[in-house]
Amino acid sequence: MNNLDQKINTHFAGLVVRKDLVKTVKGNAIVPTYVLEYLLGQYCATSDEASIQTGIETVKEILRKHYVHRNEAGLVRSHIKEKGRYKVIDKISVALNDKTDAYEAEFSNLGIKKVLVDSGTIKTHPKLLVGGVWCIADIEYEFKEEKNAIPWIMSALKPIQLSHFDFEGYGEARRQFTTDEWIDLLIQSIGFNPELFGKRSKLTQLIRLIPYCESNYNLIELGPKGTGKSHIYSEFSPHGILISGGEVTVPKLFVSNSSGKIGLVGYWDVVAFDEFAGRQKRVDKSLVDIMKNYMANNSFSRGVETLGAEASMVFVGNTQHTVPYMLKHSNLFDELPEKFYDSAFLDRIHFYAPGWEIDIIRGEMFSDGYGFVVDYLAEILRSMRNHDYSDRYKEHFSLSPDISTRDRDGINKTFSGLMKILFPQGGASRDEIEEMLIFAIEGRKRVKDQLMRLDTTYPTVHFSYTDASGQSRTVKTLEEETYPQYYKKTIVEPEGLLLQAESIELDFPKESRDQAPVAAPTVKEQHQIFQENQRGVSYDSLFGHYLRGASRIVVTDPYIRLFYQVRNFMEFLETVLKYKPIEDEVAVHLITTEDDCKGEQQKENFEKMKNSCDTAGIAFTWEFDETGTMHTRHIETDNGWKILLDCGLDIFQHYEMNDTFTFNNRLQQFRPCKAFEVTYFKDNNT
């Protein structure tokens, strides 16, 4: 175990599991993660390897004996008959038979129906009435000769979810972790390896948890396929339900006028719509209308009476186009069904999560470290739904008066949710509060900016905040920073304005014409700041114009040691080659440090690079700094420029370098960046 895993086990003993165990025990059991982790939490919530192995075998045996596979349902029913009583793990739903005045259960995999359930069980577990709940149940068999008699009897039922927890203990243990450690613990609890995500990407993942801890929170996430958008809502918590966007009706979601039976929003904390996008999907207009009222007022009515509910609404779907394409030709809501492509509906959304910033899930992204048993974390989050943390920034910051009430509500609810997730015990610093506030503003601004493209009657809003000293800061979305030539365009603008914006891109030299205009084509002294997950950045756009005309370049970077760092340097040499006249030669000298473990491999890699450079007109040399005190990272050229790099050449987030068939591997401008800064200044002594 690493230091974080040891710390997790020390302060949350018995409440965490090693996340790779889920795959170990799952086999061919088609059950949600929280069901498996419930069982793992009973037998494997320890750091002792021997106990873990024993627990794994126990859980496997429980699943083997008691989980009902559909194709073995007949065999299990035979076991119940022959033994008289048998324990099963299955998804159970209950309905009221008004002809017999009795509650009747249906077992999803076991295939038996009309099993009598007493009223006390329904009062204790009302979710059995809507959508079904995974349970461990004891089933008895007693044959009766009476006509229509049901031989199945449910003698015991226990939903698979945590029965109690200590919130004060949770808050006290949180104080033992730094903010970064706590975020990594939460990311591991979701199942991902935090080392492969930047801070912004981690926060985007954690945004998905807000509907569980914030009542009546409306979230949308659109992005490419395979980024795990729906995983949290299907696998994470017994308090959320994931339904297909085309499989819901007004009675099922809200209330049935004929029976008076309340729908999903009355029983679940989170109702998530999967595969929500799709222009051609048929949607009931009355559903959209009642949903708009519910999302705005937390209540709904079908003409009989007005009812309230606290369920948060989540909409996830796939995009078919890239972000710049959508910004140029339509807007970021472009994929929604026509009936939901409605400014009044969209204005009710509190946060638009940028799904395009999240990498497609790869096997290496999953964690083998320790995280909370997800059911435990789900109960903790649920317990905070009635708390309000939205005012915790007001001691330090105030929102611009230009921001409307609806925009302000969206920002406040997102901020409140993030604070509950990251600082349940309080104690956030001013800088941490500011970071959460900026993120919350950006998510609501993304909604409003797209609405203004759809409907020009919306007034322009200046999304900014002011600190206690009176200094104001404007917040921009990452798309606004990356694609400024398209972002401000509205759908109804005349084509001439768009053509004018396009002409800006055409002014760039041929070498960078296929890239986003990140760096100015004319060299000048300047300081540039790049946000995490920003795309369109490359060594060509950062350095190319400054290297043009140089005959000697010195790169100082202590971290050109590991394979990916050496590869970064090779790509820098490619930029030197692109901007060097073919008839000229350039000397490139690298000053770095020797790797303690793989120094010979490092030298071998440099020698291979030298041999390649010799054939391309680049004289490559290197030296190792022996002082051990080198920390600065910069590039110096004999044409008078010095470029300071706070991250060196290590500006890209992790990507799959062995996959030849991804543009992330082939072209730098498709890779998401880390947050970094670059300073260019003229060295007159050169």
State the pLDDT at residue 621: 96
State the pLDDT at residue 489: 62
Query: For residues 176 and 11, is the Cβ–Cβ distance under 8 A?
Result: yes
Between the alpha carbon of residue 626 and those of residues 591, 594, 595, 622, 623, the distances in Å are 10, 8, 12, 13, 9
β-pairing, 464-467 vs 397-399, is antiparallel
Task: Examine the domain organization and report whether 447 and 413 are in the same domain.
Answer: yes
> Is residue 38 in a domain?
no
> Is residue 46 in a domain?
no
Number of domains in the chain: 4
Q: What is the DSSP letter of 676?
A: E
CATH number at residue 568: 3.30.870.30
Ranges of the chain whose pLDDT falls below 50? 491-520
> Is residue 20 in a domain?
no
Strand partners, 641: 682
- Tokens 């005309």 map to which residue? 549
State the pLDDT at residue 632: 86
Q: What are phi and psi of 580, to 5 degrees?
A: -95, 130
- The last residue of one of the domains, among 138, 159, 180, is 159
pLDDT digit string (tens) for 284-330? 888 899 999 999 999 988 766 788 999 999 999 999 899 999 999 99
β-sheet with 397-399: strand ranges across: 397-399, 464-467, 472-474
Task: Examine the domain organization and report whether 449 and 546 are in the same domain.
Answer: no
N-terminal to C-terminal alpha carbon distance within the chain: 51
> Is residue 348 in a domain?
yes
Where on the phi/psi map is residue 623: left (φ > 0), alpha (ψ -120 to 50), or beta?
beta
Nearest-angstrom CA–CA distance, 651 and 567:
12
Strand partners, 16: 372
State the pLDDT at residue 98: 86
Q: Which two tokens stand for residue 74?
A: 């007949």
Task: Examine the domain organization and report whether 201 and 303 are in the same domain.
Answer: yes
State the pLDDT at residue 572: 97
Task: Examine the domain organization and report whether 400 and 316 are in the same domain.
Answer: no
Query: For residues 311 and 241, is the Cβ–Cβ distance under 8 A?
Result: no
- The last residue of one of the domains, among 159, 193, 225, is 159
Sign for the pseudo-dihedral over CA of 17, 22, 23, 27: positive
Q: What is the dihedral of CA 17, 21, 23, 25, to 10 degrees?
A: -110
Q: What is the DSSP letter of 342?
A: -
Contacts for 227 with CB less than 8 Å, ≥ 6 apart = 355, 358, 359, 360, 361
State the pLDDT at residue 662: 87
> Is residue 16 in a domain?
no
Question: Helix or strand or coil: residue 201?
Answer: helix
Question: Helix or strand or coil: residue 460?
Answer: coil
Q: Which two tokens stand for residue 402?
A: 């230009």
Nearest-angstrom CA–CA distance, 332 and 10:
45
Query: For residues 297 and 289, is the Cβ–Cβ distance under 8 A?
Result: no
Where on the phi/psi map is residue 275: left (φ > 0), alpha (ψ -120 to 50), or beta?
left
Radius of gyration of the chain (CA): 29
Task: Examine the domain organization and report whether 426 and 370 are in the same domain.
Answer: no
Task: Examine the domain organization and report whether 597 and 480 are in the same domain.
Answer: no
State the pLDDT at residue 237: 87
Q: Which two tokens stand for residue 84?
A: 């008289």
Task: Examine the domain organization and report whether 81 and 220 are in the same domain.
Answer: no
State the pLDDT at residue 511: 43
Nearest-angstrom CA–CA distance, 672 and 196:
12
Nearest-angstrom CA–CA distance, 622 and 603:
9
Residue type, 583: E
Task: Examine the domain organization and report whether 520 and 648 are in the same domain.
Answer: yes
What's the full length of the chain, in residues?
686
State the pLDDT at residue 518: 44
Nearest-angstrom CA–CA distance, 93 and 325:
45
Task: Examine the domain organization and report whether 176 and 270 are in the same domain.
Answer: yes
- Tokens 């030197």 map to which residue? 576
Nearest-angstrom CA–CA distance, 389 and 366:
31
CATH number at residue 110: 2.40.50
> Is residue 210 in a domain?
yes
> Is residue 54 in a domain?
no
Between the alpha carbon of residue 80 and those of residues 6, 137, 372, 506, 606, the distances in Å are 44, 12, 35, 75, 69
Task: Examine the domain organization and report whether 152 and 171 are in the same domain.
Answer: no
Task: Examine the domain organization and report whether 256 and 289 are in the same domain.
Answer: yes
Q: What are phi and psi of 44, to 5 degrees?
A: -125, 15
- The last residue of one of the domains, among 159, 186, 216, is 159
Query: For residues 185 and 372, is the Cβ–Cβ distance under 8 A?
Result: yes
3-state SS, one letter per residue, for 402-437: CCCHHHHHHHHHHHHHHHHHHCCCCCCCHHHHHHHH
> Is residue 123 in a domain?
yes
Across the chain, which distance is largest between two alpha carbons, in Å? 104
Would you list the DSSP string of 348-392? T-SEEEEGGGSPPP-GGGB--SEEE-HHHHHHHHHHTTT---TTT
pLDDT digit string (tens) for 206-264? 999 999 999 999 999 999 998 999 989 988 888 899 998 667 888 889 988 777 788 89
CB burial class (10 A; 0-12, 13-18, 19+) of residue 214? Answer: buried
Query: For residues 318 and 335, is the Cβ–Cβ distance under 8 A?
Result: yes
Q: Residue 81's domain spans which residues?
A: 70-159
State the pLDDT at residue 521: 56
State the pLDDT at residue 618: 95
β-sheet with 641-645: strand ranges across: 526-530, 676-682, 641-645, 634-637, 552-556, 586-592, 618-624
Nearest-angstrom CA–CA distance, 112 and 81:
13
Task: Examine the domain organization and report whether 196 and 275 are in the same domain.
Answer: yes
State the pLDDT at residue 303: 67
State the pLDDT at residue 492: 44
Nearest-angstrom CA–CA distance, 468 and 396:
6
Contacts for 208 with CB less than 8 Å, ≥ 6 apart = 219, 221, 229, 232, 233, 353
CATH number at residue 296: 3.40.50.300
Between helix 374-383 and helix 179-190 the angle, nearest 10°, is 120
pTM for this one? 0.81
Nearest-angstrom CA–CA distance, 549 and 523:
12
**Which one, of 280, 279, 287, lies nearest residue 248 by Cα?**
287
